[in-house]
């Protein structure tokens, strides 16, 4: 692709924000370094499907990378919390039964009495 005559964004460009809808979840599809301080980034919004091509300086790429790292950390914390809840649910999904309702292995159950 030909090198652009000018940048489409600057160091403060919010690449994570969709230009077509209010989504802040825009994802990079492809990154290409075009020079020492010039990057071409193809972006896609997962909410509305809009695509964009931005030509930005490396500072904008570094900022976008930090935004994505922070978002990943938030997702990882949420997934860890979900795993903790799920693991707790596997151990006692409805809590422990009252002691008088527990059936111990050595006690015959109702089916053994009926036989």
**Any domain includes 115:** no
Name the E strands within the chain. 27-35, 38-44, 51-56
**Any domain includes 111:** no
Domain hosting residue 22, numbered range: 1-91
Total number of domains constituting the chain: 1
Q: Are 42 and 51 in contact (CB under 8 A)?
A: yes
DSSP state of 101: G
Spatial neighbors of 17 by CB under 8 A, at least 6 apart, are: 23, 24, 26
49: phi then psi, degrees, rounded to nearest 5: 85, 0
User: Which of 21, 70, 71, 72 has its CA nearest to residue 44?
Assistant: 21
- At 34-44, the pLDDT tens digits run 988 999 999 99
Higher pLDDT pick, 101 / 2: 101
Q: Does 1 score more than 80 pLDDT?
A: no
**Any domain includes 6:** yes
**Any domain includes 43:** yes
DSSP state of 100: G
pTM of the predicted model as reported, rounded to 2 decimal places: 0.64
**Any domain includes 77:** yes
- At 23-74, the pLDDT tens digits run 999 999 999 999 889 999 999 999 999 999 999 999 999 999 999 999 999 9
Rounded to the nearest integer, the mean pLDDT of the chain is 82
């Amino acid at each position: 692709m030909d090198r652009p005559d000018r940048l489409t964004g600057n160091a403060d460009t919010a690449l994570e924000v969709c230009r077509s809808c209010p989504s802040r979840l825009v994802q990079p599809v492809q990154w290409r370094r075009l020079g020492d301080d010039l990057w071409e980034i193809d972006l896609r919004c997962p909410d509305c499907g809009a695509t964009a091509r931005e030509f930005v300086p490396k500072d904008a790429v570094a900022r976008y990378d930090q935004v994505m790292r922070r978002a990943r950390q938030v997702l990882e914390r949420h997934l860890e919390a979900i795993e903790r809840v799920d693991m707790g649910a596997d151990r006692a999904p409805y809590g422990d039964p009252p002691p008088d309702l527990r059936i111990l292995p050595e006690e015959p159950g109702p089916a053994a009495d009926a036989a």
